[in-house]
Amino acid sequence: MNNPDLEFPANNAGERDGLGDAGIETFRDAPYASCAREAGQNSRDAAAGQNNPVKMSFDLLEVNRAQIPGVERLEETLSLCLEQAHDDKESEFFKNALSIIQRPQIPVLRIADYNTTGLAGPPDKLGTPFNSLLKARGVSSKESSTSGGSFGIGKNASVAVSELQTVFYSTRYVDPESNQDCFAAQGKVILVSHDGKDSQPRRATGYWGHPDGFRAVTDENLVPDWMRRTDIGTSIFSIGFRGHSSNWEELMVCSLVANFFAAIQQGQMEFTVGKHTINTNTLESLLTSDELLAAAEGTALREELEFARYLHRCQVSALSAEELIEIPSIGKVRVRILSDKDLPRRVGFIRNGMLITDNLGYFGHKFARFPRARDFICLVEPADDDASRLMKSLENPQHRDFSADRIPDPEKRQTATKAMQNLGVRIRSLINSKAGVELADSVVVEELAHLFGEGATNNANNPSSEKTPEKYTYSAVRQVPKRTAPQNSIGAEEGRSGAHQPGNDSSAIDSGNNNNGKRDGNGQTGSSDRRKHVYLKDVRNKVLADGTSEYGKRELYFTSETSGQVELGVQALGVNNPEPLVIKDAYPHKPKNGVVLLSVEAGKRQKLTIQLDEPYEGPIEVIAVQVEAAGGTQ
């Protein structure tokens, strides 16, 4: 048997592979955060199934160049690729890679997990976890149908943090047939297609291992000490780690805390990243750490960390209301809602202990506006395998969103779409129920009774009589909502409201939803719009709930007092200021930029069916602004 070495397969088809590997480029924007997130997910999926939490460590090693397997062949290949570089990008990459591989000490990021099953083999058997990790593309080989990963591209995140695009793996696992501990190790290099030293065309991807068949190494004595393992589990080594001189530790801690706070809080996962320890005891302090917030400044991690802090509060607070709901074609889903001042009014979806997204945008529920709700935070997660399995099938490769378009079967895709739309409706209904504003006609005040004399009376006929708070009923005064200048494309004059005239409230009608910013007559943003309002009388609306866009479709009825062309929009009359609503579809006139352009005739009753971009069941105000008067003048 030949000694292990680095070899690149022959490129008999003459294929051209550049540096822009899609699997690696997916994680370029946030390499450290992505590496931590994807590694954490893969290790969680390989949990040993015991009561012990999955433990992971992220360490920076300085490895002697001579101890890097296949280092001479790797340097030789990098030089050949530089000579054959096709553009400046390739030249820069290979010059930098050569400067690193020629150092006496090479930085290596080691990611090791414990209390996991390891990468089961045999390593060279098609379809096993180890083989799929090294040799398969777009394939995930995981024992559980509810695991976190399903695309098999997360392994490239560890390649993205390597200046050499070189990663080594070592694992110890229990063979199911012999019940014996087994060891396997192999390396993988992803460069560009090139001509080898023998002038033969070679593929972009090379493997360190036994050259005959590009097989894994199963003899632990053939790997350096730093690659060996004594415990069951897996170690990943990113060679030429690119973050050795940056704040990579803090960025990875931010990612792990923001994405896995649910699993950490439940004692299912623990991490060590350099000097940082992440577990149930340290989680809350890390979520509020000024050091981490400073490290995340200017990155998406800052917002993710702050969002996770609110979701964690919802997860642990005794004041959170919890509901277990069952959705047909999905399964059981757990919804926790915490209502309190200054909460961000957002929804977080957790699956398999990891935060996925804050919306169901592909199913008509962006969860961007809640006009009837007080401040709240909502946490949603599958509560059984059926729900987790379906949501897994809807996740995108980055595990950041849900979409039914990923399901190949049209019938299953349609079923999943309706089910997720139904879930969105139920979540919004629960939020309105648990965090909605309730207005009472009257309230009995008892707390102030001790401040008043016992002889006080409630003589309605005597204006000077003193009211007794413990007996007096205070009635809420019904006030007409203050109309403000609409901030939509209708371009209202200052101090006036579209369809509303002083002393008339016929334009405020029960039911409606969302809008946009101020625009000029061409739909462009502007601040000088002073067009004339058109008074609409006898404004009425009818909510049309079709089961998928609950309370998002309405029929509007109105009569204009003038003739001409108008822009018509709607806004929600919420608890505080009115909120613009976006009309995404309408009949018989189509909307543009969230409003509808139509012709009106004085005294003629008109009907318009509109579809809002999000469900909303509260009161709305219809606003019309004249674009062109009858006769062609404005």
Percent pLDDT > 70 in the chain is 79
The pair of structure tokens assigned to 625 is 């602004």
- Residue 521 maps to which CATH number? 2.60.40
DSSP calls for 39-79? HHHHHHHTB-SSSSPEEEEEEEEEEEGGGSTTHHHHHHHHH
Do 98 and 45 share a structural domain?
yes
The predicted pLDDT at position 563 comes to 92
Rounded to the nearest 10 degrees, the angle between the axes of helix 410-435 and helix 385-394 is 110
Residue 491 class from Cβ within 10 Å (0-12 exposed, 13-18 middle, 19+ buried)? buried
Strand stretches in 196-281, DSSP E: 201-202, 205-209, 233-241, 269-273, 276-278
Task: Decide which of 379, 401, 435 is a domain's last residue.
Answer: 435
pTM above 0.75, yes or no: no
Residues 379-426: tens digit of each pLDDT:
999 999 999 999 989 987 777 889 998 889 999 999 999 999 999 999
Do 219 and 256 share a structural domain?
no
Q: Is 456 a member of any domain?
A: no
Do 362 and 222 share a structural domain?
no
Do 622 and 558 share a structural domain?
yes
Cβ atoms of residues 237 and 227 within 8 Å:
yes
The pair of structure tokens assigned to 253 is 């801690």
Amino acid identity, position 475: S
The residue with greater pLDDT, 409 or 614, is 409
Do 390 and 368 share a structural domain?
yes
The predicted pLDDT at position 541 comes to 85
- CA-based nearest residue to 369, from 562, 559, 575, 199: 575
Strand 276-278 vs strand 321-327: parallel, antiparallel, or unpaired? unpaired
Do 251 and 216 share a structural domain?
no
The predicted pLDDT at position 480 comes to 44
Residues 139-176: tens digit of each pLDDT:
554 454 444 343 356 788 999 999 999 999 999 999 88
Residues 6+ apart with CB under 8 A from 297: none
Cβ atoms of residues 111 and 73 within 8 Å:
no
- CA-based nearest residue to 467, from 453, 479, 477, 480: 453
C-alpha span between 190 and 60 (Å, rounded)? 22
Q: Is 600 a member of any domain?
A: yes
Backbone phi, psi, residue 79, to 5°: -65, -40
The predicted pLDDT at position 550 comes to 54
What range defines the domain where residue 269 resides?
247-298
Do 168 and 142 share a structural domain?
yes
Query: Binning pLDDT at 50, 70 and 90, where does residue 285 land?
Result: very high
Amino acid identity, position 518: K
C-alpha span between 491 and 167 (Å, rounded)? 58
Q: Is the pLDDT of residue 474 over 80?
A: no
Residues 488-530: tens digit of each pLDDT:
333 333 333 333 333 333 344 444 333 333 334 333 434 344 5
- CA-based nearest residue to 121, from 130, 110, 133, 112: 130
428 HSE (CA, 13 A, CB side): 27
Task: Decide which of 229, 245, 261 is a domain's last residue.
Answer: 245
Within a 10 A sphere around the Cβ of 345, how many other Cβ atoms? 19
Do 84 and 217 share a structural domain?
yes
Do 274 and 233 share a structural domain?
no
Strand stretches in 260-388, DSSP E: 269-273, 276-278, 321-327, 331-339, 346-351, 354-357, 376-382
Give pairs for 212-218: CB < 8 Å, separation 24+.
212/1, 212/2, 213/124, 214/7, 214/9, 215/123, 215/124, 216/121, 216/123, 216/124, 216/130, 216/134, 216/184, 216/185, 216/186, 217/4, 217/184, 217/185, 217/186, 218/123, 218/182, 218/183, 218/184, 218/185
CA dihedral 371, 373, 374, 378 (to 10 degrees): -120
To which residue do tokens 């509810």 refer?
Answer: 146
Strand 54-64 vs strand 269-273: parallel, antiparallel, or unpaired? parallel
Cβ atoms of residues 289 and 308 within 8 Å:
no
DSSP code for 623: E
Residues 29-70: tens digit of each pLDDT:
889 999 999 999 989 988 987 778 999 999 999 999 999 999
Task: Decide which of 411, 435, 459 is a domain's last residue.
Answer: 435
Do 253 and 236 share a structural domain?
no
SS3 454: coil
Mean pLDDT, the chain, rounded, equals 82
Percent pLDDT > 90 in the chain is 54
Q: Is 193 a member of any domain?
A: yes
The predicted pLDDT at position 142 comes to 47
Cβ atoms of residues 98 and 78 within 8 Å:
yes
Domain count, the chain: 4
Q: Is 499 a member of any domain?
A: no
Residue 457 CA: distances (Å) to CA of 233, 444, 460, 469: 79, 15, 9, 10
The predicted pLDDT at position 477 comes to 47
Do 253 and 239 share a structural domain?
no
Longest CA pairwise span in the chain (Å): 111
Q: How many residues does the chain have?
A: 634
The predicted pLDDT at position 610 comes to 93
Q: Is 492 a member of any domain?
A: no
Q: Is 482 a member of any domain?
A: no
Q: Is 463 a member of any domain?
A: no
Q: Is 493 a member of any domain?
A: no
Lowest mean pLDDT among 19-23, 207-211, 503-507, 543-547: 503-507
- CA-based nearest residue to 624, from 599, 603, 605: 599
The predicted pLDDT at position 446 comes to 45
Backbone phi, psi, residue 453, to 5°: -70, 155
Cβ atoms of residues 265 and 316 within 8 Å:
yes
Do 252 and 234 share a structural domain?
no
Cβ atoms of residues 594 and 461 within 8 Å:
no
